[in-house]
Chains A and B, each alone.
Chain A
């Protein structure tokens, strides 16, 4: 809210510098974001404007008087409302739901939406532009001047905090105000020249012909004050915050009035505001008060009485404020306090946010000053904190991938379903049915991600645009899937990585084909992730996945369950993302891996006897049937119990050397016995068995 300093000073009794005042307010719950130097458009006035930020619970700080009252409490001075003068008005006509006097009738149909409606009739008014002092006040506060009558109602709104409305009384059918819910499809041309269509949850001010104003939000154009208006009906009502907020939200109309009503206006302000507005109108537009005010109200609005235990106050704050001081603090805020073992506190209606003992304690803390509350270390902090098992395992996976050269990346949780088109993701995959946002903030991000790969490929692509062709990134993050059952969607922790070019090392003397990462590098990382988490029963199988290059993609399988995919990104995807080099990527279901993880490690005795090494090379058809993993399994089973490791060291296809459709794989074999040195005969025998087995399954053993 814009608070003109000169205007505010009228209600402040003290001489304090602007800087001090701003600091005091900021530390006292009303943040002054900045102070703006203001000069009137015509240069006739200038002021300093306090730009305040009001928390939603403090509607009482949305007026000059409210701010002055609070400032006085913080300053320990008295508040000076003497500038606010009221004319004599006859005792109002009070009625529960229908008040009538002279030509005016006020009828409240919806007592929930409008618990109180006060109105005052003025005659003989001359509508014209406001005098300079009034125009400047409004301009400084950021309100457009309209004419003297409307300007006076706005002035009162800023001064006291009561939003008001002025009707041209002659344009109200039968002088009859009805406060009711709108009918379905009821329409009104508003003051801002827009047509609004209401629904039955909206509260309107109507005459017998139909709506004339949208209650607590904006008046209608047809009954507004115009140059020829002479008879004015001033509205000063109390509207229910929830009703006004609902209307304001669904019609998308937020006005100074609705902003205040949403934050609760003092229900006992309606009559003083009418009197104050009448005084200002008589000053600036002439005319006179025609008759007593009308005051229709569903009930009386009385001050609450609460009780406060000073020891509870100090126990909660960790302070030692004397009971007398507590009473004084509350008194300064305009609350009435009766001292005793418990303080009995009467809370006026301008502070609806104070409802409980704890609310009073907060007020004590504010006036006392948060900065005067001591700093203590809780005695409760004993024992040690810990991470969960999942958190620890996630940290280990991250550390391992970083050691493998991947930099950690984070990308947004939101995506567009068509991102998966760009990735050529399989049409029938579950990732194709993401959770959709009901109110996305951008056209590009309308759904929750189901895979981390679009984010990583996008990152790769951005790097390529910056001519960074060597990329190594990983991300650990959550993906979401809708669930059939009611309740929350499935959250799944994933880990994914991407590599392009030769990000691992500076390349001098290293041929590019050796420096560049490949499928097997990435696979090694995935294997080590599994090993790091103690997984044993996993394997890789060739897979078809349209986002990956055919024949260059594998699935990671645990038991029977696929828990990840890795491979070379398909060429068409590489082109779609405009990437200069082949890209390798993996994505794993980290939850599934963590579920199977074991932190337990069992020590194996370090071997005491030397190993014996032998090599075997086998040429076999270039098909999955003769995969490296199968050949090594055959060798293992034929090699006997002394064969402790089988590692491939050479793999090639070469039509000239070994013929078409064939591949050669050479394995390095390690033999060892736990208790003695193996004999040559034992090794030769095992090798014979191995050769025999390889020939038997259709391989051809190559000997040097």
Chain B
């Protein structure tokens, strides 16, 4: 009886292990382990054995049954895994096909550049304010110390709605609006759209963006202006980039300075873009004229300040290597989707 049981166990083990698929495995299960299987038949005949043999054979039968069950489960899992793997091969993907997630839109390169510029000044502790695109004559010129009928007005090439209302030609009026409503210290940057009656070509446009900066407090110096804009230049284009200051004239600053940036195309060596100077003019700056501070009611002995205004287009063009300013307003998907 014991031998018979052992032989059956061996036979069943082989049948289970050699089953090539789940169907064969199932047949083996029915044949050996099923309710009418051979193992069952043997266990039923245990009762006919002599008393002293019964426990021994009974234990053996249990052990064989357990082992075979375990073996069966193991083989079943193996076969299922094989099947799953086989199926996976059938469903192989061409992973080189393009993805189908919806395309995300892009920030406009000009405004992305403006954001970048604003971030730098936010980090330096400046607050961002905005002013109206259509301004009064007073804020545009009078409060900025422009004398009436002054040749400095020529550069502004202003669009007018009427004698008193005009499209701002620079963001500087925001300085006045802020100072009228706030006592020093003042620390602001003002981004915005400006307009000048310029003919449109690859480097000029009647619409452009400026970023204005203003710092007014006790003992603010021209050296501070230079230092701050130097930080800005380096943050924007890297440590090899510097700002150059040279005398200029703006009615609302004294001393006034034109600001230029190391030409990042040639690294300051001189090229076509910078007109062989190694510098690119990016805006104007200076110490706020005492007349301006006086008009907003600040004590000009106690407070000094500086202001700057830089064009955003130039920075964006340098940043992305864009050579035609008109592209910004082209609405061309082939351009806008690049950034």
Contact = CB atoms under 8 A, between A and B. Distances in A.
B is bound to A: yes
Contacts of A200: none
A438 B104 CA distance: 41
B93 interface: no
Nearest to B338: A407
B247 interface: yes
Interface in A49-82: 55-58
Interface of A: 26-29, 31, 34, 55-58, 241-242, 245-246, 249, 262-263, 315-319, 356, 358-359, 361-362, 365-366, 370-371, 373-378, 380-388, 391, 398, 401-414, 435-441, 445, 448, 455-456, 458-460, 462-463, 466, 468, 470-474, 478, 480, 488-489, 491, 503-506, 508, 510
B100 interface: yes
Given A385-B128, A508-B98, A413 B304 contact: no
Interface of B: 97-108, 110-111, 121-130, 132-136, 147-152, 154-155, 159-162, 165, 167, 185, 187, 189, 193, 195, 197-199, 206-207, 215, 217, 219-224, 226-228, 230-231, 244-249, 254-258, 275, 287, 289-290, 304, 328-334, 336-337
A402 B105 contact: yes
B289 A510 contact: no
Contact of A409 (B134, B189, B336): B336
A105 B223 CA distance: 57
6 contacts: A56-B152, A370-B257, A374-B226, A380-B185, A408-B336, A437-B167
A376 B126 contact: no
B332 A489 contact: no
Given A378-B220, A441-B159, A466-B334, A366 B247 contact: yes
Given A358-B289, A407-B333, 14 more contacts: A55-B249, A56-B152, A365-B247, A371-B244, A373-B226, A378-B224, A385-B123, A387-B122, A409-B331, A412-B206, A414-B207, A466-B332, A466-B334, A489-B161
Contacts of B226: 373-376
Contact of B275 (A34, A391, A405): A34
A703 B189 CA distance: 64
A374 B227 CA distance: 8
B248 A318 contact: no
A462 to B, nearest CB: 6
A463 B215 contact: no
Nearest to B162: A438
A113 to B, nearest CB: 13
Contact of B246 (A29, A388, A439, A505): A29
A386 B249 CA distance: 31
Contacts of B257: 370
Contact of B107 (A398, A412, A468, A473): A398
A375 B334 CA distance: 43
Given A29-B248, A413-B193, A466-B332, A319 B185 contact: no
Contacts of A385: 121-128, 187, 189
Contacts of B150: 56, 245
B327 to A, nearest CB: 11
Contacts of A388: 128-130
Contacts of A456: 331
Contact of A373 (B98, B104, B148, B222): B222
B290 A356 contact: yes
A58 B330 contact: no
B249 A317 contact: no
Given A473-B331, A480-B134, A489 B223 contact: no
